[in-house]
Amino acid sequence: MFQISSMVPRLEKSFHSNNQMHQTKARLSLSYCCRLFEINRQAIYQSERRFLFREQELIIVKKLVKEIRVIMSRIGTKKL
């Protein structure tokens, strides 16, 4: 007969090592990441500001396009 216990991997060790890995995982600071990529923090904040501004603009445009499409459902994208 086979011994099943020898064929089944032990789960306790893998769980313990994964648990330790999650506990020791450190968060990277923004200044450290900026030094890694050789950019300054101001560039990151400016990029975020541009992204949010562009997102707000696109929300307005999408709303207008949806309103036009309700009226003229067969109009193409080039005409909008």
- pTM of the full predicted structure? 0.51
Which pLDDT belongs to residue 19? 56
Give me the tens of pLDDT residue by residue for the chain, a chain 80 residues long.
Answer: 445 545 444 545 555 555 555 555 678 898 999 999 999 999 999 999 999 999 999 999 999 988 988 888 777 776 65
Residue 20: the pLDDT is: 58
User: How far is the CA of 46 from the CAs of 9, 18, 28, 52, 58, in angstroms?
Assistant: 51, 38, 20, 10, 18
Measured CA to CA, the distance from residue 46 to residue 34 in angstroms comes to: 14
Query: CA 39, CA 46: separation in Å to the nearest integer?
Result: 12
Q: How far is CA 80 from CA 54, 55, 57, in A?
A: 19, 19, 16
- pLDDT reported for residue 78: 66
| Alpha-helix runs per DSSP H in the chain | 4-7, 11-24, 30-37, 41-71
